[in-house]
Structure 1
Amino acid sequence: MILTGEKIRVWLATRPVDFRKGHDGLSAVVQTVLGHDPYSGAVFAFRSRRGDRMKILVWDRTGLVMVYKRLEGGGFQWPRPSDGVIGLSPAQFSALFEGLDWKAVRAVRRPRPRRAA
Protein backbone atom coordinates (compact mmCIF):
# COMPACT_ATOMS: atom_id res chain seq x y z
CA MET A 1 0.00 0.00 0.00
CA ILE A 2 1.59 3.28 1.10
CA LEU A 3 4.35 1.82 3.22
CA THR A 4 7.57 0.96 1.49
CA GLY A 5 10.67 -0.73 2.82
CA GLU A 6 11.97 2.50 4.29
CA LYS A 7 11.57 3.42 7.95
CA ILE A 8 8.35 5.41 8.18
CA ARG A 9 6.48 6.94 11.08
CA VAL A 10 2.77 6.25 11.49
CA TRP A 11 0.51 8.37 13.68
CA LEU A 12 -3.02 7.28 14.55
CA ALA A 13 -5.58 9.88 15.63
CA THR A 14 -7.59 8.10 18.31
CA ARG A 15 -10.58 10.46 18.29
CA PRO A 16 -13.07 10.38 15.40
CA VAL A 17 -12.87 13.16 12.81
CA ASP A 18 -15.49 14.65 10.52
CA PHE A 19 -15.21 12.51 7.40
CA ARG A 20 -16.38 15.37 5.19
CA LYS A 21 -12.86 16.80 5.59
CA GLY A 22 -10.56 16.50 2.62
CA HIS A 23 -6.82 17.05 2.16
CA ASP A 24 -6.76 20.58 3.58
CA GLY A 25 -9.09 19.85 6.50
CA LEU A 26 -7.15 16.77 7.57
CA SER A 27 -3.80 18.52 7.23
CA ALA A 28 -5.18 21.27 9.51
CA VAL A 29 -6.15 18.56 12.05
CA VAL A 30 -2.61 17.15 11.84
CA GLN A 31 -1.16 20.57 12.62
CA THR A 32 -3.57 21.91 15.24
CA VAL A 33 -4.87 18.81 17.04
CA LEU A 34 -2.07 16.27 16.63
CA GLY A 35 0.79 18.78 16.72
CA HIS A 36 2.67 17.32 13.75
CA ASP A 37 3.75 18.50 10.31
CA PRO A 38 1.54 17.01 7.57
CA TYR A 39 4.38 17.48 5.06
CA SER A 40 6.91 15.44 7.04
CA GLY A 41 6.32 12.22 5.10
CA ALA A 42 4.73 10.49 8.08
CA VAL A 43 1.47 8.57 7.65
CA PHE A 44 -1.55 9.97 9.53
CA ALA A 45 -4.58 7.72 9.99
CA PHE A 46 -8.02 8.96 11.05
CA ARG A 47 -11.13 7.08 12.14
CA SER A 48 -14.82 7.63 11.55
CA ARG A 49 -17.40 7.78 14.34
CA ARG A 50 -18.70 4.28 13.59
CA GLY A 51 -15.20 2.84 13.40
CA ASP A 52 -15.72 1.07 10.07
CA ARG A 53 -13.95 3.72 7.96
CA MET A 54 -10.45 5.08 7.84
CA LYS A 55 -8.81 8.02 6.05
CA ILE A 56 -5.06 8.16 5.63
CA LEU A 57 -3.08 11.28 4.79
CA VAL A 58 0.55 11.21 3.68
CA TRP A 59 2.93 13.56 1.85
CA ASP A 60 4.71 11.60 -0.89
CA ARG A 61 7.21 14.37 -1.80
CA THR A 62 5.03 15.52 -4.73
CA GLY A 63 1.67 16.12 -3.05
CA LEU A 64 -0.73 15.11 -0.30
CA VAL A 65 -2.24 11.67 -0.82
CA MET A 66 -5.51 10.75 0.85
CA VAL A 67 -6.66 7.13 1.05
CA TYR A 68 -10.18 6.17 2.14
CA LYS A 69 -11.05 2.64 3.23
CA ARG A 70 -14.35 1.17 4.44
CA LEU A 71 -14.48 -2.33 5.88
CA GLU A 72 -17.43 -4.43 4.85
CA GLY A 73 -19.00 -6.48 7.62
CA GLY A 74 -17.01 -5.25 10.56
CA GLY A 75 -14.87 -2.47 11.92
CA PHE A 76 -11.28 -1.56 12.54
CA GLN A 77 -9.70 -2.31 15.93
CA TRP A 78 -9.33 1.22 17.29
CA PRO A 79 -7.70 2.22 20.59
CA ARG A 80 -9.69 4.15 23.19
CA PRO A 81 -10.02 7.82 22.27
CA SER A 82 -8.02 9.10 25.22
CA ASP A 83 -4.71 10.62 24.22
CA GLY A 84 -5.56 11.99 20.80
CA VAL A 85 -2.61 10.45 18.92
CA ILE A 86 -0.48 7.32 19.22
CA GLY A 87 2.45 6.05 17.21
CA LEU A 88 2.26 2.72 15.40
CA SER A 89 4.96 0.62 13.81
CA PRO A 90 4.58 -0.06 10.08
CA ALA A 91 3.65 -3.67 10.92
CA GLN A 92 0.95 -2.56 13.36
CA PHE A 93 -0.41 -0.11 10.80
CA SER A 94 -0.53 -2.83 8.14
CA ALA A 95 -2.52 -5.06 10.50
CA LEU A 96 -4.91 -2.20 11.33
CA PHE A 97 -5.39 -1.42 7.63
CA GLU A 98 -6.31 -5.06 6.97
CA GLY A 99 -8.88 -5.02 9.78
CA LEU A 100 -6.80 -7.19 12.12
CA ASP A 101 -6.01 -6.62 15.79
CA TRP A 102 -2.90 -4.42 15.51
CA LYS A 103 -2.25 -4.66 19.29
CA ALA A 104 -1.29 -8.32 18.83
CA VAL A 105 1.61 -7.40 16.50
CA ARG A 106 4.90 -7.51 18.40
CA ALA A 107 8.47 -7.25 17.26
CA VAL A 108 10.52 -10.38 17.89
CA ARG A 109 14.05 -9.63 18.88
CA ARG A 110 16.49 -12.36 17.98
CA PRO A 111 19.96 -12.26 19.48
CA ARG A 112 22.75 -11.93 16.99
CA PRO A 113 25.16 -14.86 16.90
CA ARG A 114 28.48 -14.10 18.48
CA ARG A 115 31.58 -14.34 16.38
CA ALA A 116 34.28 -16.74 17.47
CA ALA A 117 37.54 -15.03 18.33
Structure 2
Amino acid sequence: MIASKPVDFRKGINGLAALVSTALGANPYSGDIYVFRSKRNDRLKMVVWDGSGMVLLTKVLEDRRFIWPAVHAGAVRLSASELALLLDGLDWTRVEKKPVKRPAKTA
Protein backbone atom coordinates (compact mmCIF):
# COMPACT_ATOMS: atom_id res chain seq x y z
CA MET A 1 0.00 0.00 0.00
CA ILE A 2 1.43 3.38 -0.92
CA ALA A 3 0.59 6.65 0.81
CA SER A 4 -0.59 9.36 -1.56
CA LYS A 5 1.05 12.33 0.14
CA PRO A 6 4.75 12.94 0.82
CA VAL A 7 6.03 12.55 4.39
CA ASP A 8 8.74 14.18 6.45
CA PHE A 9 11.73 11.98 5.68
CA ARG A 10 13.23 12.59 9.11
CA LYS A 11 10.63 10.13 10.39
CA GLY A 12 12.02 6.77 11.36
CA ILE A 13 10.46 3.38 11.76
CA ASN A 14 8.23 4.29 14.72
CA GLY A 15 7.00 7.52 13.15
CA LEU A 16 6.15 5.80 9.87
CA ALA A 17 4.43 2.91 11.65
CA ALA A 18 2.34 5.49 13.52
CA LEU A 19 1.43 7.12 10.19
CA VAL A 20 0.22 3.76 8.90
CA SER A 21 -2.30 3.74 11.75
CA THR A 22 -3.28 7.41 11.84
CA ALA A 23 -3.06 8.61 8.23
CA LEU A 24 -3.85 5.38 6.39
CA GLY A 25 -6.15 3.77 8.93
CA ALA A 26 -4.31 0.47 8.55
CA ASN A 27 -2.60 -1.98 10.88
CA PRO A 28 1.21 -1.66 10.63
CA TYR A 29 1.53 -5.23 12.00
CA SER A 30 -0.56 -6.81 9.22
CA GLY A 31 2.42 -7.92 7.15
CA ASP A 32 1.54 -5.53 4.30
CA ILE A 33 4.27 -3.30 2.87
CA TYR A 34 3.62 0.42 3.37
CA VAL A 35 5.44 2.82 1.04
CA PHE A 36 6.05 6.52 1.70
CA ARG A 37 7.69 9.09 -0.58
CA SER A 38 9.71 12.26 -0.14
CA LYS A 39 8.59 15.66 -1.44
CA ARG A 40 11.07 15.46 -4.33
CA ASN A 41 9.83 11.98 -5.37
CA ASP A 42 13.39 10.68 -5.59
CA ARG A 43 13.31 8.76 -2.30
CA LEU A 44 10.97 6.31 -0.68
CA LYS A 45 10.76 4.45 2.60
CA MET A 46 8.93 1.20 3.21
CA VAL A 47 7.87 -0.33 6.50
CA VAL A 48 6.70 -3.89 6.96
CA TRP A 49 6.16 -6.22 9.91
CA ASP A 50 7.98 -9.48 9.10
CA GLY A 51 6.58 -11.50 12.00
CA SER A 52 9.49 -10.88 14.36
CA GLY A 53 9.99 -7.12 14.07
CA MET A 54 9.36 -4.00 12.04
CA VAL A 55 11.58 -3.54 8.96
CA LEU A 56 12.49 -0.15 7.44
CA LEU A 57 13.81 0.02 3.87
CA THR A 58 14.96 3.12 1.98
CA LYS A 59 15.47 3.55 -1.77
CA VAL A 60 17.00 6.60 -3.48
CA LEU A 61 16.87 7.05 -7.25
CA GLU A 62 20.02 8.74 -8.49
CA ASP A 63 18.91 10.19 -11.83
CA ARG A 64 15.09 10.19 -11.94
CA ARG A 65 11.95 10.36 -9.85
CA PHE A 66 9.43 7.78 -8.74
CA ILE A 67 6.10 7.73 -10.57
CA TRP A 68 3.37 8.28 -7.99
CA PRO A 69 -0.39 7.91 -8.45
CA ALA A 70 -2.59 10.99 -8.67
CA VAL A 71 -4.52 10.26 -5.49
CA HIS A 72 -5.33 13.18 -3.24
CA ALA A 73 -5.97 11.38 0.05
CA GLY A 74 -5.43 8.01 1.60
CA ALA A 75 -3.52 5.23 -0.08
CA VAL A 76 -3.39 3.02 -3.15
CA ARG A 77 -2.93 -0.74 -3.17
CA LEU A 78 -0.33 -2.15 -5.56
CA SER A 79 0.24 -5.67 -6.78
CA ALA A 80 3.66 -7.24 -6.27
CA SER A 81 4.54 -6.61 -9.93
CA GLU A 82 3.45 -2.94 -9.72
CA LEU A 83 5.60 -2.49 -6.61
CA ALA A 84 8.58 -4.03 -8.44
CA LEU A 85 8.12 -1.55 -11.31
CA LEU A 86 7.83 1.35 -8.85
CA LEU A 87 11.05 0.31 -7.09
CA ASP A 88 12.83 0.14 -10.46
CA GLY A 89 11.80 3.74 -11.12
CA LEU A 90 9.56 2.73 -14.04
CA ASP A 91 6.16 4.18 -14.90
CA TRP A 92 4.01 1.41 -13.47
CA THR A 93 0.83 3.43 -14.16
CA ARG A 94 1.20 2.82 -17.92
CA VAL A 95 1.41 -0.94 -17.67
CA GLU A 96 -1.78 -2.47 -19.00
CA LYS A 97 -3.12 -5.54 -17.25
CA LYS A 98 -4.49 -8.15 -19.62
CA PRO A 99 -7.87 -9.53 -18.57
CA VAL A 100 -7.76 -13.13 -17.43
CA LYS A 101 -10.66 -15.32 -18.48
CA ARG A 102 -12.02 -17.22 -15.51
CA PRO A 103 -12.48 -20.95 -16.21
CA ALA A 104 -16.12 -22.05 -16.29
CA LYS A 105 -15.45 -25.42 -14.69
CA THR A 106 -12.71 -27.84 -13.75
CA ALA A 107 -12.05 -31.13 -15.45
Q: Same fold (TM over 0.5)?
A: yes
Q: 2:103 & 2:4 partners in 1: Cα distance?
A: 40
TM-score by length of 1: 0.82
Secondary structure, counterpart of 1:68 in structure 2? strand
- Structure 1 unaligned blocks of 5 or more: 1-10
Counterpart in the other structure of 2:70: 80
1:19 matches 2:44: no
> 1:32–1:105: structure 2 CA closer, same or farther, 3 Å change rule?
same
One-letter code of the match for 1:100? L
Counterpart in the other structure of 2:27: 37
Once the two structures are aligned, what percentage of the paired residues are identical? 46
> 1:109–1:80: structure 2 CA closer, same or farther, 3 Å change rule?
closer
Secondary structure, counterpart of 2:23 in structure 1? helix
Taking only aligned residues, the RMSD between alpha carbons, in angstroms, comes to: 1.9
- Structure 2 unaligned blocks of 5 or more: none
1:61 matches 2:61: no
Counterpart in the other structure of 1:8: none
One-letter code of the match for 1:67? L
Q: 2:43 & 2:2 partners in 1: Cα distance?
A: 13
TM-score by length of 2: 0.89
